[in-house]
Structure 1
Amino acid sequence: MILLRDILYKVTLEKVVGNTAVAVRDLHFDSRKVALDDVFIAIKGSLSNGHDYIKTACDKGAVAIICEAMPEEFVNGITFVQVADSHQALALMAANFYDNPSENLKLIGVTGTNGKTTIATLLYNLFKQTGYEAGLLSTVKILVGEVEYKATHTTPDSLTINRYLREMVDAGVEFCFMEVSSHGIHQKRTEGLHFTGGIFTNLSHDHLDYHKDFKEYRDVKKLFFDQLPKTAFALINGDDKNGAVMVQNTKAKKYTYALKSYADYKAQILENQFTGLLLKINNHELWVKLIGSFNAYNMLAIYAASDLLELENMEVLQAMSLLESVDGRFQYLVSEKNITAIVDYAHTPDALKNVLETINSIRTGNEEIITVVGCGGDRDAQKRPVMGNIAASLSTKVIFTSDNPRSEDPETIIEEIEAGVPSEHYKKTLSITDRKQAIKTACQLANENDIILVAGKGHETYQEIKGERFDFDDFKMVNQLLTALNK
């Protein structure tokens, strides 16, 4: 058992009522999970306020309550601790409760709008290939060595992060690669963690449903680098104008990677084909199986991070040549009729533009590009017409469809996407609300050598409609439909 006072180390306390020398069994911010001798941390969330459930936690046997506002009545035998920020308190307490596991491995955070999952996952794969014990905290999955767990958020809550990090340390993991989202930074889920390094990929229009404007979104990302220790490295994309902003106030050692400008780590694309990329990285040529200029940036970031983590360069280059694309990230198949189908997570304007520009740069010009795309409900609505414009301008045919509409009307979302289509491209577009039917129509429209892009959901294996999740896998769906048409 650990004592409450030890868990509260580094937490700024405003008031304490009761004894902090009590033994604690577990920590929870969900009152439904509280049991005898647990600590309940009351968090103010966007949908509910944990302070409304303090009495419930007390009734269920909580030994202590952590809150920003003290209740009107106290309960004998229960310790009440008032803090300035419950999110921050939770993060610090979680780290202390699990004995600060991030200090016993090398934790690398990857942040930015696009590329986080690819870079974190491929770094994990590379380090495993080169003989190291590694861990992964990503949008797609959590890996503790070879053991896989399902991921529910890009950046999990502080308790979940520290629980998995503790499991990694106990399993002998040396390196952990972690996606760091703007939500996670803003909600202080990463505070109390000791990072060995941070990687910035790029910044473009996203999450403006959560952040009030682009400046706030950028500044929240910057906070991650502000908090890096001087022993860490900060590796930024030098070709993104926001890269320099990220490291303005960091104490970490600064390094850059770029394709277009001067940088510590430089790459050049020599060949770009559907089978892969021929790259020149710091005067070394190598062939990789990933496709497109955006993946050239990802591979360069992987090379740079591996070098900063003191792996041998030639060993890294050899391992990079064996890396496969991540599920739902420019994942493709070729049918018997030589139709190429690509599934990509591109759910932001910048990501969709990158994927379509990559396809256009590789194709000969005789093939049709048929794009199936939608936008998620209850999320940033400002990007919908922008994505409609990009899809229509860079494709030969477009089918607008439902993504994860959540609580919104999918047809209303589609109308907002269509509003961005330039008049000269109207004739290219169709609207089919049912996603399966939209993908089926794309498969029926495609002829030999044509290219189908199914964008927006990538690795996701569900579609969320009115609070329910239904099984839906874009890659399996397009594969089944193309196979059926070949018969």
Structure 2
Amino acid sequence: MNRKLTELLDKLEYEQVCGKTEREITAVVYDSRKVIPGCLFICINGANFDGHDFAAQVAAQGAGVLVVQKDIELPADADVTVIKVADTRYAMAFISAAWFGHPAEKLKVIGITGTKGKTTTTYLVKSILENAGYKVGLVGTIEVIIGDEHIHANNTTPESYLLQEYFARMVDAGLDTVVMEVSSQALMLHRTQGFVFDYGIFTNLEPDHIGPNEHASFEEYLHCKGLLFKQCKVGIVNGDDEHWQAVTEGHTCALESFGMGEHCMLRAENRQLVHKPGELGVTFHVTGLMNFAVEVPMPGKFSVYNALAAIAICRHFKVDEEAIKKALLQAKVKGRIEMIKVSDQFTLLIDYAHNAMALESLLTTLREYEPHRLVSLFGCGGNRSRQRRFEMGEVSGRLADLTIITSDNPRFEEPQDIINDIKTGMAKTDGKYVEICDRKEAITYAIEHGEPGDIIVLAGKGHEDYQEIKGVKHPMDERDLIRDILAEGHIPGSAAGQGL
């Protein structure tokens, strides 16, 4: 597949520094290791490498065009066209879209941004729309789904070239819709430029992702989230979130709202908790733009918001109420308050909560169900902030009746050192705890010591299917661990009442 350079530059403002624009392009490349003769090479200024430093090298390797944002030095005899733009990441998004033939124009594109709820909401939307007969692709934190193909995700939102490639593959596979998570980082780095979202959704905003290599301040974080509402046709926002007006300031789209407040256009009323043997959920009544009762087999207030966001989106696809109700009742998201049935006596669930804010939200939600005991099992990642460990220890000590401190991804640290940091936070509370370094042993302990009416949460790993130790990712999926524990003859609740 070759394309003309003029076609790739069609929607960009640029300066033609040297060379001719009448060129056939053989490939679009932004990694100097993938240069082929006649390709267009985009000089990206990354965290560790600056593509501009490789300009002479890629020209010598036969690149036909270089797209730059600053001056470069090339040999005088280099047969290369140099195109200068204000921002090469921004340009890459448009060039990539043109290279793949603008695939987003052949799809309905739904983008979901916010601090929490993105992953769950994307899966709820996919479930509802597929129940109604749509063919839906997904791009998110856990994976990219194209038909029956599941591709492991490295970023919440992939680089613009890869995103356009996924869109093109979705079109080729006969899909008509894509629902995707849109991180603030992706918006800041222009990964989602080059096309317009049909629907942009805002779930909520809390201070997160602020620090080195992320966002300089909460204000920048908020501003980046808001960019989505200058890139979509219809914006759908959580009207109960205190930041929704700031996030949508200067929006260029039509706006709708969902939430529990009277001012919201699609509302949830009469929220009630559902507690069945080994299961937790919530029911509520949808009013405003739609009118029907719904049950979601996921606990808590945030599950209501996720379901409402999904309903607000699917309303635009003319999905009927029965199809929505059926899809929500069947919905299950890997590693997001995912219930694993091991006993009718107590509830066991897996969740990705891996910082204090997420763990506090999760444990507070589960407290609403008035468990006999709330048991929290977690560890913390190595080579990460020690402050996170202190905070998570303190949160669990304050909110859980029993904390089982174990290992997460120790990476290059000693697991016991991490556990000791968690205990430092625990010491600020009078919370009971046990420490069991091996995660499988810890889960075995939790299952064997489960008491009637307990809610046991395995936090931190969520959808992850590995444990990273000394630079090696070892296979470890908590669902498999639970299956193995039960197959080995460990009986749920058999040790209840013994010791802690």
TM-score, structure 1 length as denominator? 0.91
Query: Within 2, Cα distance between the matches of 1:32 and 1:301?
Result: 42
What SS does the corresponding residue of 2:74 show, helix, strand or coil? coil
Query: Within 2, Cα distance between the matches of 1:176 and 1:407?
Result: 38
The 5 Å alignment of 1:333-372 reads 333-336=340-343, 338-363=345-370, 365-366=371-372, 368-372=373-377
Closer, same or farther: CA 178–234 of 1 in aligned 2, 3 Å = same
Residue 208 of structure 1 aligns with which residue? 210
Does 2:327 align with 1:323?
A: no
Query: Within 2, Cα distance between the matches of 1:17 and 1:270?
Result: 67
User: How far off its partner does 1:201 sit?
Assistant: 0.8
The 5 Å alignment of 1:203-352 reads 203-209=205-211, 210-225=214-229, 227-229=230-232, 232-268=233-269, 269-273=271-275, 274-282=279-287, 283-307=291-315, 309-336=316-343, 338-352=345-359
What SS does the corresponding residue of 1:65 show, helix, strand or coil? strand
Q: Contact conserved, 2:128 with 2:324, CA < 8 A, in 1? A: no
Does 2:451 align with 1:450?
A: no
Residue 139 of structure 2 aligns with which residue? 137
User: How far off its partner does 1:2 sit?
Assistant: 0.5
Query: Within 2, Cα distance between the matches of 1:244 and 1:59?
Result: 51
Structure 1 segments (4+ residues) deviating >6 Å: none
- Which stretch shows the higher mean deviation, 261-270 or 343-352? 343-352
User: How far off its partner does 1:166 sit?
Assistant: 1.4
Residue 474 of structure 2 aligns with which residue? 470
Closer, same or farther: CA 109–78 of 1 in aligned 2, 3 Å = same
Query: Within 2, Cα distance between the matches of 1:408 and 1:17?
Result: 52
User: How far off its partner does 1:118 sit?
Assistant: 1.0
TM-score, structure 2 length as denominator? 0.88
What letter corresponds to residue 373 of structure 1 in structure 2? F
Closer, same or farther: CA 463–59 of 1 in aligned 2, 3 Å = farther
User: How far off its partner does 1:169 sit?
Assistant: 2.3
Deviation by residue 1:367-418 (Cα, 9 ceiling, x = unmatched): x222122333455665443333222211111133333344556555545544
Structure 1: state its 5+ residue gaps: none
Residue 398 of structure 1 aligns with which residue? 403
- Which stretch shows the higher mean deviation, 68-77 or 191-200? 68-77
User: How far off its partner does 1:96 sit?
Assistant: 1.3
What letter corresponds to residue 231 of structure 2 in structure 1? L
Query: Within 2, Cα distance between the matches of 1:83 and 1:110?
Result: 29
What letter corresponds to residue 328 of structure 1 in structure 2? G
Closer, same or farther: CA 168–424 of 1 in aligned 2, 3 Å = closer
User: How far off its partner does 1:103 sit?
Assistant: 1.9
Q: Contact conserved, 1:265 with 1:300, CA < 8 A, in 2? A: yes
Query: Within 2, Cα distance between the matches of 1:313 and 1:337?
Result: 34
Query: Within 2, Cα distance between the matches of 1:410 and 1:207?
Result: 25
Q: How many residues get paired?
A: 480
User: How far off its partner does 1:43 sit?
Assistant: 1.2
Residue 152 of structure 1 aligns with which residue? 154
Does 2:47 align with 1:46?
A: yes
Q: Contact conserved, 1:205 with 1:348, CA < 8 A, in 2? A: no
Give the alignment partner of residue 90 of structure 1, picking from 75, 78, 92: 92
Q: Contact conserved, 1:138 with 1:178, CA < 8 A, in 2? A: yes
What SS does the corresponding residue of 2:340 show, helix, strand or coil? strand
Q: Contact conserved, 2:465 with 2:477, CA < 8 A, in 1? A: yes
Does 2:440 align with 1:423?
A: no
User: How far off its partner does 1:148 sit?
Assistant: 3.0
